[in-house]
Amino acid sequence: MRCRKCPRRAVINLARHRLALCPACFTDFVHQQVARAIKRERMFGPQERVLVAVSGGKDSLALWAILLKLGYRADALYVDLGIGEYSARSYAKVQAFAEQAHRDAQARLYVHRVPQKEGAGIRELAILTHRPTCSACGTLKRYHFNRIALEHHYDVLATGHNLDDEAARLLGNILHWQTEYLDKQAPTLPASVEGFARKVKPLYRLTEREIAAYAVINRIDYVVEECPMAKGSKLLLYKEILNQLETAQPGTKHRFYWGFLEKRAHLQGTNNLSMAEYDRQVLTPCTVCGQPTTAPICTYCKLMDRAKGVPVKSS
C-alpha cells in the first residue's frame, strides 16, 4: 500500500478516512487533528499554560508530546497511585519522557505520591472507605489535578481522552439514560468557578489505534500493560462492541460522538442556562479545602476523613 500523499510506503490505513499514510504524513495528520480540535472547541491559546494529566499510557504521553510539538506551553502532573509494580513501571516511562521534554522544551513534571501523602495506596484507600477503586481513584486524581493547577496558576487542564473513550462513555450514558452526564461529555468544559482551570480533551478526534500508532512511529515509549484495576470494566465492553461496529462500518465511532456534539450545540442554543452558569449556581467552596463542590464538604475531604476514621463535620 502506498501513502496517499507521497510516494512512500504506507504504514497505516485509516479506513474511516479512506486514507493510507506513511510515517511522516501520518504524524502530520495527527498534529492537524489536534490543532483542529484545539481551535474548533476553543480549548486554549498559544500563551495559555496547560497542565497535562499523564499516566505513562499512550494517550497522555502522546498528548504531552503533541502539545509540545505544536509549540504550546505544556507541563504535566503524574499521580502515583501506589499500585505495586504497575505504578513503578508507569512512573519509569513518565520520568524518561519528562527528562526528554525538559531537555527539548523546558517542560516540567509534577509528581504526587498517594502512598506518601494520603498514607496508603489507592486500593487500600478504596477498601477503607468502601468505595470501588476506580471511583476513589477518580476523586483523588480530579482533586490533585485541580489543586496543582490552582497552586501553580495553570489556565487549562488537559487529559488524554480519545474518540474511543468518549464514544464508549456516550454509549454507556445513553444505554442507562444517564442524561445528567451528557453535558460533561463536551471536549471543552468551561471553568466551573472563578480561579479554576477549564478542562479539555484535545485527542477527541483521534481513535485509540491512531494514537498508539503515533506513539510507535514517533518512538514514544509508553506502558503497554493496563492498570490491573481496569479488568472487567464496562467501558472496555462498550469499546469492544464499538470496534466490532467500526470494522463493519468504518466511521461509526466518530459519527456517533461528533454527531452528538453537533446536536448538543444546537440544543444549547435553545437552552437559557449554560452549563457554566448552572455550575456557578450549584457549586460552593468546600468548607475544609476550598475546592468547588455541591455539598458542604467535597468528595475528596469526605473520602480522606473516612479513610482516617475521623467523623466528617463541616465548620
Residues that bind ligand SF4 (CB under 6 A): 122, 133-134, 137-138, 227, 229-230
Minimum CB–partner distance for residue 177 and Zn ion (Å): 30
59 binds, among ligand SF4, other proteins, Zn ion, none (CB under 5 to 8 A by kind): other proteins
207 binds, among other proteins, ligand SF4, Zn ion, none (CB under 5 to 8 A by kind): other proteins
Q: Which residues inside 117-146 make contact with other proteins, applying CB under 8 A?
A: 134-135, 137-138
Q: Does 301 bind Zn ion (CB under 5 A)?
A: yes
Minimum CB–partner distance for residue 211 and other proteins (Å): 8
Burial class (CB in 10 A: 0-12, 13-18, 19+), 259: exposed
Give the per-residue contact string, 10-49, with other proteins (x = CB under 8 A; - = no): xxxx------x--x--------------------------
Q: Does 298 bind Zn ion (CB under 5 A)?
A: yes
> Judged by CB under 8 A, which of 5, 69, 123, 209 binds other proteins?
209
Greatest CA span in the chain, whole angstroms? 69
145/256 with CB nearer ligand SF4: 145
Q: Which residues inside 149-188 make contact with other proteins, applying CB under 8 A?
A: 164-165, 168
> Judged by CB under 8 A, which of 93, 144, 199, 239 binds other proteins?
239
- Where do contacts with other proteins occur on this chain (CB under 8 A)? 1, 10-13, 20, 23, 57-59, 134-135, 137-138, 164-165, 168, 207-209, 211-213, 216-217, 224-227, 229-233, 235-237, 239-241, 243-244, 246-248
- Where do contacts with Zn ion occur on this chain (CB under 5 A)? 3, 5-6, 8, 22, 25, 286, 288-289, 298, 301
